[in-house]
Amino acid sequence: MSEQAIDWRAMTPDDSPKGMPDLLIDPVISDLRTPNVAAGDAAPDFDLPVYDFSTGQRLDTGSRMCLRDAAAVRPVALIFGSYT
């Protein structure tokens, strides 16, 4: 299998001030892609809506999940993964 060059200009809007190569070397963007926590560090707090997918559809339960509140009751494990 041969590698083909990616045409970044084709994926960048004409009015964009930066192209993909510019974003890849931008230190601010790089910082967003770099994890700022290590094993054992406290996770950043978050508050998200809770949905019910039991019917195959996304249904809003009206509940929210706050990491800080859940961790106050019992230990919480966060699992991160990639589906790509």
Top pLDDT among 48 and 38 is at 48
Alpha-carbon distance of 12 to 17, in angstroms, equals 9
Domain boundaries defined on the chain? 44-79
Residue 83 CB-density burial (10 A; 0-12 exposed, 13-18 middle, 19+ buried): exposed
13: pLDDT strictly greater than 60: yes
Q: What is the pTM of this model?
A: 0.48
Residues 48-68: what's their mean pLDDT? Answer: 94
pLDDT bin (cut points 50, 70, 90) of residue 1 is very low
Q: In this structure, what is the dihedral angle of CA atoms 13, 14, 16, 17, given to the nearest 10 degrees?
A: 150
